Amino acid sequence: LPGGLLDAGEDLGEGAAREVREETGVESTFRSVLCFRHQHGMQWGRSDIYVTVLLEATDKTINMDSYELEDARWMGLSELR
């Protein structure tokens, strides 16, 4: 699953859509937060909040960034298990 960090001042939905676009080339629109987790003692001794969001693809054409990803493809939910 694509992921990354928000830029300073960037809204959550905008950042999630940007990360997907940068890594896969897929254009999308933010719909909702699905879940999140909070964990201490992460990189640089900081706490971390990881958020999983629902995005709706507005263009399903994949143009993968091979520097960021090894594979990019559409999958059914059952394949994620």
pLDDT at residue number 45: 87
**pTM, entire model:** 0.83
Report whether pLDDT(44) > 90.
no
pLDDT-derived band at 59, boundaries 50, 70, 90? very high
Paired sense of beta strands 27-39 and 48-59, if any: antiparallel
Report whether pLDDT(8) > 90.
yes
pLDDT-derived band at 19, boundaries 50, 70, 90? very high
